[in-house]
Amino acid sequence: MDQLKGKKILIAVTGGIAAYKIPELTRLFIKAGCDVQVALTENAVRFVQPLTLETLTHHPVLMDDFILLDEGGIPHIEATAWCDILIVAPATGNVIGKAAAGIADDIVSTLLLAASRKPVLFAPAMNSRMYLNPVVKRNIALLREMGYHFIGPDEGEMACGEEGIGRLSDLTCIVEKVKDIFTVKDLQDLTILISAGPTQEPIDPVRFITNRSSGKMGYAIANAAKRRGGRVILVSGPTRLSVPKEGITLIRVKTALDMEREILEHFPYSDIVIMAAAVADYRTDKPFPQKLKKSDKSFKLELVRNPDILQALGTQKTHQILVGFAAETEKFEKNAIQKIKDKNLDLIVVNDVSQPDAGFEVDTNRIMLIDRFNKIRKFPLQSKEDAADTILDKILKIKRKVAG
């Protein structure tokens, strides 16, 4: 489910040093399957060459509004009718002020006035003293109130050498924000509890038992659920992943017992629960208090069973849609159908973890969905982001079916 495929993106560039990053932003949108057109103010041209952008986009760059296009079209009217979204990046304090006041005296401010029926995203970038000026803050607040979208700016070192808030947002975050804007908010008002990553079961102060889960699958579901408007609680075992999307409640845990406690606490008021974590089935009963010394003899470690969190959820389930994962290497359907029955699940996501491009650690997955009505559907190799949307689509179908 690629929200960006086939979308027409109009990027309006104003005269800030961050304009030099726009060819890369353009490339990211094109890579995501978008058709991109760019407009440059006179001052933007001082920082970025039109030829670079024309070569990347295969469209002429809009710079002069006082010309007629082929067949008599007017640039700002044609371009804003064509686009699905207008992105102003970098947006200077000047263009933000013009937009707030309704002034249209150059190509970008004229596009802004003409794009009144299209979503508009501003990515401000300026020196922090300018950004924190109450006039700029007021203009941004006014535009936000009118429904304009904003992203950033970020904190860090700026072109002038000063540190502070004012850097153009990370380019991948701008792309992600545009995805958010295009996404239908079909999980609005729902609370989605997700587990991700491995658990770590301590042996002694420096050693533990764990598995190969990176957390990528669970984090992808959490990000997709957030994008689709859900209230998301992510209970995560130790991972190296960056913090998920803003607005997700992230609870970090280490052991299966920690994970069980957090999941059970948030379960009663959740609407959808997805257990993507690879929870260790065993732990040492009592971890050694001191670091174990090596000995020549063999060493036996006694393990006890961890609680099966999913099983407990199945017995406590009231209104929740309960989704389990199955990391299998053989007898996929048989084992998964058994798990649905044993754990009272609504859906199970089966991944063949014997494949090098699916399951643990990798960015892709090959999933099979089996619902509680024994309906089975296999999906081809897809990114974990797309797999996340596939799973959420299926959950919503089940939820609607259950609700009658």
Active site residue ranges: 160
Q: Minimum CB separation from ligand PMT for residue 378, in Å?
A: 15
What is the smallest separation between the CB atom of 246 and ligand PMT, expressed in angstroms?
21
Write out the H or E segment, with its range, that includes residue 150. Answer: strand 149-150
For residues 230 and 359, which CB has a smaller minimum distance to ligand PMT in the complex? 359
Check if the beta carbon of residue 301 is closer than 8 Å to that of residue 222: no
Question: What is the rounded CA–CA span in Å between residue 252 and residue 104?
Answer: 49
CB of 9 or CB of 276, closer to ligand PMT: 276
Determine the Cα–Cα distance for residues 18 and 92; give it in Å rounded to an integer. 10
Q: Cβ 401 to ligand PMT, closest distance in Å?
A: 21
- For ligand PMT, give the closer residue by CB, 258 or 308: 308
Those residues with Cβ within 8 angstroms of residue 396's Cβ, 6 or more apart along the chain or in another chain: 186, 187
What residues form DSSP beta bridges with 8?
35
- Those residues with Cβ within 8 angstroms of residue 165's Cβ, 6 or more apart along the chain or in another chain: 128, 131, 132, 153, 154, 155
Q: Which residues bind ligand PMT (CB under 6 A)?
A: 197, 213-217, 256, 275-279, 281, 306, 308-310, 324-327, 351, 353, 359-361
CA pair distance 22, 126, nearest whole angstrom: 15
Distance between CA 397 and CA 281 in Å, rounded? 31
For residue 204, which phi and psi values (nearest 5 degrees)? Answer: -145, -175
Provide the minimum distance between the beta carbon of 179 and ligand PMT in the complex, in angstroms, as a whole number.
20
Which residues is 364 bridged to in the sheet?
383
Residue 82 vs 332, nearer CB to ligand PMT = 332
- CA-based R_g, the chain, Å: 26
Nearer to ligand PMT, 48 or 327 (CB): 327
Which tokens belong to 51? 């030829």
Least distance from C-beta 236 to ligand PMT, angstroms? Answer: 10
